[in-house]
Structure formats: C-alpha cells, structure tokens
Structure 1
Amino acid sequence: MTNDRRLQSAAKVWCACVGGIKNTGSVRSKADAVMTAEETHEATSLINGLKPSGLKSETTRLVRGVIKIVCLIRTAKPLDHETRPYALAVATLGEANATAAVAVLVLDVNDNAPVFSRATYYVVLPEGPWPRGPVGQVSATDRDSGKNARLSYILISDGKFFRINAETGKATTWQLLIYPPTQPTTDFLQASPTVVRRLWVREDDPPGTVIGSVSIASPGKEVVYSITDGDGDSRFGVNSQSGDIYIYQPLDYETAAQYSLTALAEDDAGEHTTMRVFVTVEDVNDHPPWFTDKMIRIALMEDAPIGSLAFAFCARDEDGTYPNSALRYSLASPLGFPFQIDPRSGRLMVAAPLDRETSPAYAFTITASDLAERRVERRHASVTARVFLMDVNDNQPTFKSADVVQVAENVAEGSLLHHFVASDADERENGMVSYIMLTGNQRGLFALEEKTGLLRLSAPLDFETARLHRLRVAAVDAGLPPLSSSQMLTVEVIDVNDSPPVFSRDVYVATVAENREPGQTVVQVSATDEDSGILKGVALRAIKTLQTLDREEHQNYTLTIQARDCGPAPLSSTTQLQLLILDQNDNAPAFTLDSYRTSISEGLPAGAAVLSVTAQDPDHGSNGVVMYSLRDDGGQGAFSINASTGAIRTTETLDRETRAQFSLKVLATDGGNEGPLSSVVSVTILVDDVNDNAPVLVPVTLIFSRLCTISFVFLKWFANLNQKNRMAAGMVSYSKPTKTGKIH
C-alpha cells in the first residue's frame, strides 16, 4: 500500500478542508460531491476518496492523475446521524488549483433504544362480564430512522389476563376480570336468593367430565336444576336431579377463558334460587410454537462487529398463559460458529469476526420451545435460516503481473508493452480494479489504460539515451472508501538493429506434381537486409519437398517462410508460399460394393431398370471422370449399361423358364489422358418367376389289385404333369376318380 505522503510529493497536489458548515436543510442539492459515512465511524476513520469529477479545477490534467488517491477525507471525531448532516469545503494546495463543496451523508445505525412516553401507565378497569375489552394504549419513540425506528410491542408479564397489539400498542383484557365478592351460603331455598359458585376446569377435560355442583340442601322437597343463561354455545350441561355441572362440548382456553353461567334451582313448591356460576378454564399447552416463515434468509454485512445484531427471530405460540406461551430460543451450530442467539429475545448476535471471502454464507437451525411446567409437555418448532454475507471493501488489490519487462528500442508507438494484472477478493464495485500511473513517466513515453491495465508506448524509445525506465503504478478498487496497492515496473530497453530482412515478393505461388521423389525443388525465395556490417546481405534459398506428396490427401499448402538476420537480437520477416499440387492419374475407379446382386421379375418389357452401379475416383479433372461398360456380355445382349450413370436396363423381355440367372462384368474406366485406369465388378441378376404356364396332363396308366376274397378294382390316374412353373404357380391338385371314371 502506498502511503499518502508519497502520493502527495509525487504529484505536488494536496487537499485540505478549508471550512465546515452546519446545515439543517438539504446540503445534497448544493454539493459538488456527495459522500456517505456510517455514524459508528471512529475518529480519523477514512470516509471516501474524492474523484476528479467532483473538483472544479483549472489544472485538470495534473489533478486527474492522482486525485483519486490523494484527496481522502477522514473524520476528526465520531459522527452522529441523529445530530446533523455535514457540509465541507475542500480545496487543493500547491500547483493544482481546485475546489469542491462536499456533502457527507451520515448513514443511520441502530444505536438508540426505544423510549416510552411514560415510565409507568396506570389504568383502572371496572369488573366486567365479558373478556377482551379495551385497557389502554402505550406508545414509544425511537430516534433512529428507517427500519431501525420501526417498533413492535410485546407483553412480557401477565399474559394470562391481557394481550397487546404488536403494532399499535393497544392492550386488551383476555380473561373475564371479577372482583372477588363474599360468597353467601344457603342451606335451603329462600325467595329468589343469589348464590355464587366458582368452578375450575382444564381445557383438555373431555365432554362428560363433572366439574362441580350447584345442588343445595332442601329437606323433603324435590329440586330441579337448569342453566338459564351464559351458555349460548352449549359448552356445559347440568344434571336436573343432582345439580352436577358437566362439560357438554370441548373447551378451548384461547377461545374463551371464563364463563359466567346462571343456574336455577326450583322445588316442587314453586320456590327457586338463582345461582351465578363462574367457570374458569385452565390453559393447557396444546399449541406448539410456530414461525411465520419456513426459511429465513438474512443479509448481513461482513464487517458487522462482534456483539451486533444480525437478526431477531420471533416465533408465535397461541397458548394463553405465560409458561405455555413463553418461548426460549436455541441454535444448533457446529463448533466455532460465528453467531449466538439470546435464548429469551431470539436476537441472533455476531459472536466472531466474519469474512465473506472465506465463508460467504451460513446455514443453521433455530428452535423455539415453550416453557410448560412439565418438560414432557413442552412443545418445539424449528426454522432453517441462512445468513448471506454482503461484501465490504476490506481487501486491497494484489498485483499478479511481472515487475520487469524488456522492450526493443525500435518498438512502434502504440505497441503493447505490458499488461498490469491485479486481483481483488471483494465483489462487484469493491472488486473492480482501475490502474493509475504515479511516477516515472515524466517524459510521457508511456500510456496506461485505466480500466484494462494495458501499458502502451506513446513515444519512441532510445537505448543510447535511457536503458531503464522505472514506473510506479497503483491499482485502486471502486469501493467506498477505495483501497489501493502499488507496483514498481522496470522497463528494460534492448538495443536492436533497425532493419529486418525483406523478401522480394509478398506472396510466392508455385506448383509441383504429386508422386515426385523427395528433394524436388519447388521454388526459390530471396530476402535482403539493409543493415550494415555482418547484418547486411542477400539470401537465396530453394524450397524443396521432404517427402512424396499426394494430391488426394492435400490439394494445396500454405507455407510461412521466415527470414532472420544474425544480429544479437535477430530481426525477421515472413512471407507466404501458396503451393498447388498437380494431379496425376494414380487412382483407379473404385466401386462402392465388392459385388452387386439383384432380382427382376420375368416378363417386364425392354428398357426396365435393373440396378445402378457406382464407382468413385479421387483424382482431379478428367482423371476422376468415370465411364461404365459391360466387359463380358454374360447376358447375351439382354442388358445394357449407361456409360455415364452406371444404370443397367433390360434390352428384351426375360423368361425365367428359359434362363433364371445372369452374371455380368461391369468395367469402370477413368478419363486419364496417359493410360486410363479401370476396375471390374461382378453383377448377378436373378429372374423372379411369374405364373405364366398352365398344367399339362400326360397318358394314364390303369393298375388292378386283389386283396383276399374280395376284389376291388382301383382305377388310378397318374397325371404326369409336364410342369414348367414352380412353387405356388406350379402346384397341382389331384382328386379320386368316381364310378363313372371321371376325375374330380
């Protein structure tokens, strides 16, 4: 990393803050440049590097080369987002004259806790017959901004009787509130006295469970009991004779935690007593905790300090009482995991330094468990979370390219001399590297491309004037604030002769016949060198073949010929030789098949197509033109062949009974002028039978036979068929002669 002092002395440009302005209004619209800084920055922390576009400069060319490195603004004391914005006047000192108005926007950090409008809220509530009535509202404020100032309210005590709206802070009753009265006792029926009974029941008690009784003593009288009011949902029933109250339908604490029933006891004399029965439903841990999301994804800056908040997990439990709805959080993680969770609040805290370049993401499981009194009744819920670390510009560029390059003194202007390569482990803008030349280019011999790092020659070099050039180049990323590193490149200038050899022609064209013996001269090339001494001269060289050439493998060659002088740093030039291989008739036609075999039906007229034979010749021109002919006319004139296409046709109608098979010899001959080449292939033609002949009977022979004492005369006719046809067409049916001698 190059220090600030070296950069300042090299460019003779300094930046100074010449004024600070407190502005409670908008400073951004009046600023030439806008920078951002977190309010947790410590004193002397680097905020940002001022870019050239932010300065109003009369010496732009001088300032642009170094302003990105030199004009760095640091804090003099910690900043506070809640206090004020900041506006600065920045000026350059020395040879460069530039000024700028800089607005510093302080980014908010969650460093203020919410504050309630009162330390204690007092509320007086009347005893009421119905739960879920309004209690009051609490309010708090947070000096932070944005999401850091969004508040949610949580009731951490008396959750059995009250609930609070997480967004508005409005509190409501959750159970019926009753001021405990003195319970009168009655042993016999009086004129409409009122008796109060209190009963308790678990919400998981099944229907039919007796929870208490409203019976009263009435000697000698028959009393009938009934529920007259307060049980609109028919959750309870009463035994009309015994007065036992029982559960009629399942109860749910979260739906109704208390019931106020009116029971009536009436005797046979018409006297009755009204009783108020308050039934309190006891909560059972019948609801597991649950998270609103199946998967939680968290984005966190990789420079989050140890002890900072990464995320606040918030599970829900629909049970009504504190032990059953209170939650504790746990984190399943391997050893050395950089996060830990507060078991009470669910706040995920950073426990170890983070580094996106080492571990860009973490996956883990958070479990929320309620605090039911019996451990076996406790319920759990889990959610998978992934923390993705967001990149922070915490890695400076690192040079990977060489620090020495050799350049010939006669390299043309604009030539590429070197490629500076620096890598930055950060991503996006934080990993985008640009290059700036700091020192060593006073004469303007070199030009550096800022984005690519390509170093090019901008003026001629001279070995006799300067044999070495040392350039210091900085690699700067685009992060806020930017980080940089520098490299010293040594450019070594090499003394060379100035004139390379020059060929007499730009392109040579020659031909050579194939199949010539190796050593055949193809063409002679010549080159001259205009340098003096041993470098000067004329070179004449013959290009010869090293092996026998085959045009069918390669029809032409493009050769690059180099001429190089004998200097200590040889110069060279090249030319091309276009070599065309001349064809010789050295390949006979080759049929696509070793032999051909086909069949054709008899009786077809003359000119019927039989088959086509094909032969190929890889030679060029007339040497590769193939003609076809019948060498041995085994068909006795029954067939003809097209000399150009090789198509064989009949010249007459064929008769299978006369001749069933033909064997021909086809000759393929190329068009070579000097001794044409040829090849022969066999063609077999089978004549398929057609049913074109009727059966014919021949003379009959009579045969007599006698067996034992019985004589039978069998007249057997043997039809000696003069059959010419075969197979299905030549098959004959026979029948036994009748008494009349006729054959059927």
Structure 2
Amino acid sequence: MFVCGDSEHPSAAFLHLFLSLSQAMCQNLGDLHVTGPLKDMNFSVPEGGAVRFIYQFTSEPPAMSFRATGEKDGIIDIVPKTGVLYLNGSLDWETKAVHRLQVESLDEEGNTVKGPYAVTIYVEDINDNPPEFDQTKYTGVVRQNSRPGKPFMYVHATDRDDPTTLHAQLVYSILHHFPNPYSEMLFQINNVTGAISPSRTGSYYLDPQKQDTFTLVVTVKDMAGTTTNAFTSSTDVIITVKESLWKAPSTIHIQENSTQAHPVNISQVHSNEQDVIYDIFEKEKLPRLPFSIDQSGVIYVTEPLDREEEDTYNFFVVTKDNKGELVDKPLKIHVVVEDINDSPPVCQQALTVIEVQENEGSNIGTILATDRDEEDTLNSRLQFKIESQVPNVPASNLFLIQQDTGILQLTGHSLNKRIAPNYSLKVLVTDAVFQTICDVQIHVIDINDQIPIFEKSDYHNVTVAEDLPVGTVILEIQATDGDEPGTGSSYIIYQMKEGDPKNTFIIETDSETNRGFVRIHKALDFETVPVYNLVINATNPEPLVAGVQYNSSSLTLFKVFVTDVDEPPVFHETIYKQEVSEDIPVNTLVMTVEAYDPEGDTVRYSLEGDVRKWLRIDSTTGQVYTASTLDREQKATYTVNVVASELTQKSKATLILQLLDVNDNPPQLGMDYTLFFCHPLSGGERALIQATDADEQHYYSTFTFSVADDTNTRSSWEISKVNATHAYLSPKHANFEEKVYNIPVIINDNGKPPLEGKVNLEVTFMNNQTGEKSCFIEVERQHFWPTAGQAIGLLIGILLIIGMSIFLI
C-alpha cells in the first residue's frame, strides 16, 4: 500500500516523480473514493494540467505490485509498488479524447494475480481553443432598398473544442462598421448562422450615391458569448452597395375603352434577386383586378378599362422565393385611366318643377344635369338651350336659360296666373358629342296679397280647472285667407301675441282647414296665474307683397279663467338625510323638514314608521328631535316617513338617519370557551382564543390581551398575541393539579378612549386515561425541530469526522 512519506526508490529522477506524486496524493487523501480494490473502472479527467494523482488500487497477498498497459501515450502510468494511477503530463482532448488501459496485479515473480481489468480515462474538454474564421477577409454586395433581414452573405468560423459543450458554441456579432453616418447600425448579423443582412434602418437609408462601401468588423465568441472569459476572434467584411433594380414605375396612364388586343404590356419591374416569383396583390379587394404580371416582371392590363367605373387603380407587385417568403419590399403601382367622351348628359330629374310667383324677379330656378365623363374637362362641359315653350302666351320667349350654368330666368315679363297657370319647357343639354332633352314644368303661384281674417274678433272666455292635463284643447279658432289654397300664401300660423309670456298655451293648425286648436302646453297653477288675457294673431309663412300689411282683422281676443283645485302640501325635498353620532343626548335637534300648501292652508307634521320610538317631530315647525337613546349596533340606518297634512290632503317625505359609531361596547370573547389540558403537562401546550367587538371595525381592528394583574395568575399563565383578533393562552410551568382553574383575562380595544373587557377563562386539567387525547380539546402543542443553521452544522460535523478517519492507516 502507498504510504505518505515513503522514500525507497532507486533513482533521483524517480525520486523526484515519486515526491511529486506523494505530495499530489497526500493532498487528495481527503477526497472520497480515491482508493479501492482492482476492478474495471472509468475516470473523467480534464485536459491540461501537470502531474496528477488519479486513483490508488489496493492489493491483497500474494499480489505485491501492479502493471498498466494500453494507451498510456507516455502520459498515463501506475506506480508498481503502491498501485497509484497517475498522470506525468498533460492530456489533450483535441489529440485524444479517450485512453483505454489494462491494469493487473502481480506477485513477487511477476505473475498475474488479478486482472487485467479495463481502465478507461475520458478526457474532459476545456476551452483552450479560440474560434477561427475560414477567411481572413470577406466581401459582399447588397442592393439599395433590399428587404430588412434578407441575408446577402454569410461569414463562418470553427472551434476545435468539443462541439457538444459551450466551448465550441459560437456567437457572431457586428462590433463596428465604417463609416456609420446614422445613430443605428445599417447592417445586422444572425448570431448563430453568421448571415449578414440590412437592418430596418439600412434598408431605408442605404444609397450608393451617398456611400457605396462599408467595412464591418465582425466578431465571433465561443462559450455562446455568455462569459467575459470567452475567446474572441474578428474579421473584416467589405460590403459594396449597388443601386436597386427594384423600383416602382412612374404613374401609368391608360386610355379607357381601348380597342387593342388584350392583354397589353404597360410596364416592367426588375428584382434585385435571381429566380424570384413575381405576383400581384391589392388591398381594396375589387371584384376583379384587370392586371397581371409574368415571371419576367412584365405588367399587363388584361381588358379594356372604363374610367366611369374606376378612374384609378392601386396595387402592389411583390417577389417571393420558392418557399413563398417575400424577397423584396412590395412596390406600389399607380394606374390612371384617361377619359374619352363616351357618356351623354343626364338630367338630374326626369321632370324639373319650378314654382314662380306672379311678381317674382328674374332668376326663377336652375336646370341640373350631369355627365359621367371626367370633371372639369371638355368631355363633361355641358351647355343649355331652350328648345320649346308651351303655351306661347303672352309671348313665345318668356324664358331665357344661361348657356353654361342652366340658370332659368324671366326675360322681363311678369307672369299672370289668370293668363297661364303652367308652362312646359324642353331644354336641350349638350356636351361636345352627345345631347339630351330635359323636361321642365313651371307652376305660376298666387302672390300673398291677402291677409288672414278671424271669423270672430273676440272668443270671450273659458273657465278651466288648474289640474287639467297638458295637451287638452280648450278652444277652437278659425281665420280665412283669400290667397290660393294649399300655398304658403294661404296657410295660417296662429300665435299668442300677448298675455302668455311663459308659453303656457300652444296653437296647432289643421293644414287642410286652417282651423286652430288652442292646447295647454304647460301645467296651469291657480296660485300663480288665475286669469290669462290673450291676444292671438294669424299670419302666413310667405311674406306679404309690398303695400299689404297685417291689421286688426288678423287679431282676436280670448280670456282664460283658471279655477282652484285643492292640492296636497309640497315638501321642499323628497328625501331628507342626516348623519348623527349614536351618543347624542335625548331631545337633540336632528333636522328641520319644510312643506307648504299651495292654497296657503296651515301644514301640520307627524312621523310614520318610527318603530323604535327614537324620534319626535314638532307638528308646527317640522323640527325633528331625538326621543330616546340611539344605538348604531341595533340599527345603523334608520328610515321613517314625515307626513305633512292640511285640512283634506297630505303628502309624505322620507327621513334617513345615518348613525355614526362611538366606542361604547367593550371587547369580549368570540365564543364560550371550555379549555382542557392533559395532566400532567408534557410541554408546549397552548390554547387559541379570539376577541370580538360590536362596534365598527376602526374601533376594534386591534385588540390587546393580558392576564389579570395578580401574582398567582401572572406567575402561572401568559398570553402571546397571534394577530389583531387572536392570542394564545399558555401555562408557564407544569405544576398544576387535576382541577378547574379560572383565568382572568383582560382585553382592550383601540378606541378613543379604549374600552376594557374582563373575562374568565375556565381551564380544566384532566388525566388522560383513554389514550385517545380526549383531554386535548382546543389545545395546541408546539413541535421543536432543528433550524436550518443547526441542521447544516450537524451535517458539517459528521462529514469532518468521516473525512479524518477514512485514510488514516
């Protein structure tokens, strides 16, 4: 067996090796499982390092020494005498990842006693190789306006370390690029694949006219870039920016209704990339899109276009790869359909009717027509001309139409309804190619030269009760007008000229008969206005002609007498609310309610629903007082009705009293507790108790618990608080007899001022003879376990003892 400090070796070189091994081994004697009998074994050893102890094989007689053979490679060997397997040099994972040896034990004559056994040493890789790019410098070309994220070149690096570990996991990044005219990088790199593409900023700003060459400093890190100790390599990437081939054509103009054979080539686009698939899409989703594109980028119109159906088209051309992914940014194609004169004028109305008063001035109306051809062009310019007038009396040229506006005028003659009440015109409307006839009918209407005349100048009076419903008709009136029936000159509007400043009444007119109906518009009130002296006038919506004025014939008188109706008293408010403290003295004034009687009768007050007899009311003044002590804990919101009465009528209002809490209830226990402890006590017993309070929460949100201030109680019992409402009662010693103890407990709330409650807890000590813990009702026991620190201390102590004793020989 190997012994620390053994010096029986034949040579100085071997002595030096042995001393190194001895030191290495003795330094590792504290490790677990470093020695054991000869058997098949596997070891994992990090590469690098110097002389190292791996394992010590133990032997049993007649074995006296050990021998190792196999893939030692001049680095791995065994000390024959002691069985120490060791390294005398550095392992290299990149050179050899696994060493397979055979170890056997020998007797004094060199014969095999046990073995050979397979010993396999797996070399663990360490990060000892930096990543290397496969080129010292890269070059690439990118087109202006290339799609962001679309790779245009790749860089690649390798690492000789174990590819299954972080040591060979590489991450790419761009350290700088020169020049950098913007605050954001113009290029980006996929940190896993090394793919370089334009960034979103670069896709927008790259322009060979401004800068056609960029130098990128690209770095690669191993260890997945997760540590500052990772190895880093860098390379230069020279990028040339070229002008984009992918450009939208200028606006395409196509004349409508083309007679060419379709499809017709109208433009072409070119992608920056080879072997792309061209396609068209639109945002507006028209019923059909009359355009197509072939795989050379040629855009076609597939059918004749109609400007009146659609005057412009906007669609997009895209390029895709064979996976359906976009290659270039979509190009917007704008097509304008050019107009030809292919639409005739259209009359806006099949028949245009114009009313003209007998004395009307020059302009009497406008003939409206439209043309679907392009607006503000000669194709849609319309001109007007009167083709015929029927009848031709009193002249054939009574009307004139402005050629370019369609405004119809009288030539100077006034129309006379008695000569001709109607005229029919045919108006010719033309554009540069087409013409249309529009029919016009002119009605000559009477002028308003007659005023309305009432059938009565005085409708005398009517008597109505003040409670008559709104909308009731109280009078019908009639005036007549000599102008043409059914026109604005003869229609009559009735209005209250005097005597109704608040619009209490309204008058509606029957359009067929011009009869007027006087209705109640707002509620009547005898106490406010008992009599209305009304003056009603009658007018027309059309203005009177010059020289004619309304006079007294268009006025009539009417008087309304309002009779009184006995009404109930009226409260100033329907609901009276008041907050008062529950401890206010009896006979305290709470509030005053007020009501009045519309007829002026005396009002008396009383209460209804005062079931607790807490209130009284002064029957004359309406003042409400407390009649007895209030108690919020009985009723927090107290509602009663106030009755206002006069001789025959009465009405009610609601009185709501909100009682504010005061601290007037001492705390007490939440239930009747009966506590039992097993006798004798074994330690850790405690009983949970709860306190409650009838007052509002802000008075008892926190309770204070204590035992009575007497020597015997304080020496035997203690109370510890659990939370705001609970506490534990615990015995302070085990010297109790089998009997009943009364424990006085004091509970304080946190009111201002606080209230104190004193309760007696009955605790029974009883012998547990059943073994079923029946005496353990409502009592807890505390369990004691070592803390985390204690547990760790015990564990360390045990491990130290084991470590000191394993290898002491």
TM tier relative to shorter chain: under 0.3
TM-score (norm 1): 0.24
TM-score, reference length from structure 2: 0.22
